[in-house]
């Protein structure tokens, strides 16, 4: 993202102020981080850095909360806060909202649950909340939500701050993905996996019951937001169907949308009813909405994460395959065969190479190996061949549209094992780690961009291994295990052929 992009247009959106308040009043936090949810949430706001000096805990008894002067009521505040954040017992919400209204607060975030999702009594309270909001012209996210993570808090005016009102203290690295979710978990608990996999999330919002602000509002905002290039949705119910469809159709060609729809079966509908009070609909209705809009649908949380990462990469570097032809280079016949099958079942092709292209590999692989597609290099010690030279030949061949490379890209453990066995490891081998960003990772990304051919690296080692971290940190798509690459490549290719590149 270029900082000079004109960020102004979307700053006029009413959600900009909610996601980027200059001051915040927090109701329901104390000093007990482990037992009071709001306390952890206040801690996370403080940790974000950007609001220092502008955080106002409101507490009936405490003079000081987590080192910050507290006030008995919002009415006592020296300023009118941009955002009021309520993590209070349900019944306290209307009174506090009234006071916020009197103080002139226009935006709220209501974490408190116990509204329509619990039945009649909650519905009444919900109506009360709605009418107070109407009276004071207030907008609010929630109730029954966790709030938001905004990794780009007041960017570019403030460079390294974030706003995290979620309970989760762990934040993802920021990037071009924006998530809006009717589940707090999907908005928040993905952070560990996100960081392991290198999924960079710029915004993640838990919208809860959507009594006032809904997913469709966020779609509208994300469309205008230059920092959003990929959108993730977790849906239990779409409230404004027509607007949602119209907007999504408009957005998808520029910004791919990945969605989970959790309803559609008998018990899941009951589960959703008691979760956010939503009335989930028939799966076929949602299927047709997704089809009509071009939204990519999945029921799997791992698919969701990997698809977000795949499109985040494709969008950021503008690397979209121009056709369905995939080349596989593998030092494993088994993983190669499984991926080949999966690619075909997902509608892609693994074509034989031309005689000319095959001949380019024959002197580079063992005599027992195969230069068909997949290229099975069997056991070999040509690390740079597998990771760079072979993909380069394929990319430049013009015969294929994307490449999957299967192998082992981390040798720290092997080096340690060999040395433990009392055998000396050549220093140059140990140094590969230090040179691959310059000699392999950056050049291969340049090739991918130049030819618009994505290269996916796949292997059996965990993401946490040091060399693997290097690949992830350099934003090269690395997959631990081989279920995901064919699925992600199929989704990417399908999207590309409809919206980006014509075959």
Site for a second copy in 440-459 (CB under 8 A): none
- For residues 243, 245, 247, 253, the Cα torsion angle rounded to the nearest 10 degrees is -170
Interface with a second copy includes 374 (CB under 8 A)?
yes
DSSP structure string for 107-131: EEEE----SGGG-HHHHHHHHHHHH
Choose which of 79, 417, 435, 498 interacts with a second copy (CB under 8 A). 417
3-state secondary structure of 378: coil
Alpha carbon of 356 to those of 57, 330, 362, 371, 399: distances in Å? Answer: 71, 20, 10, 11, 11
Choose which of 150, 315, 340, 493 interacts with a second copy (CB under 8 A). 340
Choose which of 62, 68, 338, 432 interacts with a second copy (CB under 8 A). 338
Nearer residue to a second copy within complex by CB, 2 or 421: 421
Cα–Cα distance for residue pair 496/29, rounded to 1 Å: 47
User: How many whole angstroms from its chain centre is CA 463?
Assistant: 17
CB of residue 495 to a second copy, shortest distance in Å: 22
Name the percent of the chain in helix, strand, coil, to the closest 5. Answer: 45, 15, 40
Interface with a second copy includes 171 (CB under 8 A)?
no
Choose which of 96, 190, 245, 289 interacts with a second copy (CB under 8 A). 190
198-227 residues in contact with a second copy (CB under 8 A) are none
| CB-based contact 493:309 (threshold 8 Å) | no
Nearer residue to a second copy within complex by CB, 273 or 395: 273
Interface with a second copy includes 372 (CB under 8 A)?
yes
| CB-based contact 113:144 (threshold 8 Å) | yes
CB of residue 220 to a second copy, shortest distance in Å: 23
Cα–Cα distance for residue pair 430/270, rounded to 1 Å: 57
Choose which of 21, 57, 81, 113 interacts with a second copy (CB under 8 A). 113
* Phi and psi torsions of 63, nearest 5°: -85, -25
Interface with a second copy includes 179 (CB under 8 A)?
no
Interface with a second copy includes 386 (CB under 8 A)?
no
CB of residue 246 to a second copy, shortest distance in Å: 26
Choose which of 9, 64, 159, 192 interacts with a second copy (CB under 8 A). 192
Choose which of 27, 57, 58, 66 interacts with a second copy (CB under 8 A). 66
From the list 21-29, 213-221, 222-230, 330-338, the region that binds a second copy by CB under 8 A is 330-338
């Amino acid at each position: 993202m270029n900082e000079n992009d004109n960020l102004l247009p979307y700053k006029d959106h009413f959600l900009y102020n909610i996601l980027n308040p200059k001051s915040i009043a927090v109701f329901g936090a104390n000093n007990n981080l482990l037992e009071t949810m709001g306390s952890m949430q206040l801690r996370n706001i403080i940790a974000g850095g950007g609001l220092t000096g502008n955080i106002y805990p409101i507490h009936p008894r405490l003079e000081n909360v987590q080192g910050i002067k507290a006030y008995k009521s919002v009415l006592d505040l020296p300023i009118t806060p941009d955002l009021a954040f309520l993590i209070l017992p349900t019944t306290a919400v209307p009174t506090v909202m009234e006071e916020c209204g009197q103080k002139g607060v226009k935006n709220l975030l209501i974490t408190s649950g116990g509204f329509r999702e619990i039945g009649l009594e909650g519905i009444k309270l919900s109506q009360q909340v709605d009418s107070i909001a109407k009276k004071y012209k207030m907008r609010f996210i929630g109730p029954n939500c966790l709030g938001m993570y905004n990794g780009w808090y007041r960017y570019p005016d403030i460079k390294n701050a974030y706003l995290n009102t979620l309970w989760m203290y762990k934040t993802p690295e920021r990037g071009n993905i924006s998530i809006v979710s009717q589940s707090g978990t999907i908005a928040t608990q993905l952070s560990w996996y996100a960081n392991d996999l290198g999924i960079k999330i710029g915004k993640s919002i838990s919208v809860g019951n959507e009594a006032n602000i809904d997913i469709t509002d966020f779609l509208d905002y994300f469309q205008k937001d230059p920092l959003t290039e990929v959108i993730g949705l977790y849906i239990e119910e779409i409230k404004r169907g027509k607007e949602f469809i119209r907007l999504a159709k408009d957005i998808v060609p520029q910004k791919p949308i990945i969605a989970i729809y959790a309803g559609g079966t008998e018990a899941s509908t009951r589960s959703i009813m008691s979760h956010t009070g939503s009335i989930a609909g028939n799966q076929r209705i949602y299927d047709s909405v997704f089809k009509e809009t071009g939204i990519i649908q999945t029921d799997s949380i791992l698919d969701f994460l990997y698809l977000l990462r795949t499109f985040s990469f494709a969008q950021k570097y503008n690397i979209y395959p121009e056709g369905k032809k995939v080349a596989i280079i593998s030092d494993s016949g088994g993983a190669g065969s499984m991926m080949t099958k999966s690619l075909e079942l997902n509608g892609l092709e693994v074509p034989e190479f031309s005689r000319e292209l095959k001949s380019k590999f024959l002197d580079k692989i063992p005599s027992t190996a195969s230069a068909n597609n997949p290229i099975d290099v069997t056991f070999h010690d040509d690390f740079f061949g597998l990771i760079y030279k072979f993909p380069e030949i394929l990319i430049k061949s013009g015969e294929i549209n994307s490449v999957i490379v299967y192998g082992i890209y981390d040798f720290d453990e092997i080096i340690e094992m060999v040395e433990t066995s009392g055998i000396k490891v050549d220093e140059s081998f140990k140094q590969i780690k230090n040179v691959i960003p310059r000699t392999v990772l950056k050049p291969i990304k340049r090739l991918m961009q130049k030819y618009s051919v994505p290269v996916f690296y796949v292997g059996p080692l965990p993401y946490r291994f040091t060399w693997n971290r290097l690949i992830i940190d350099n934003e090269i798509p690395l997959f631990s295990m081989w279920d995901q690459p064919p699925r992600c490549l199929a989704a990417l290719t399908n999207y590309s052929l409809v919206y980006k590149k014509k075959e």
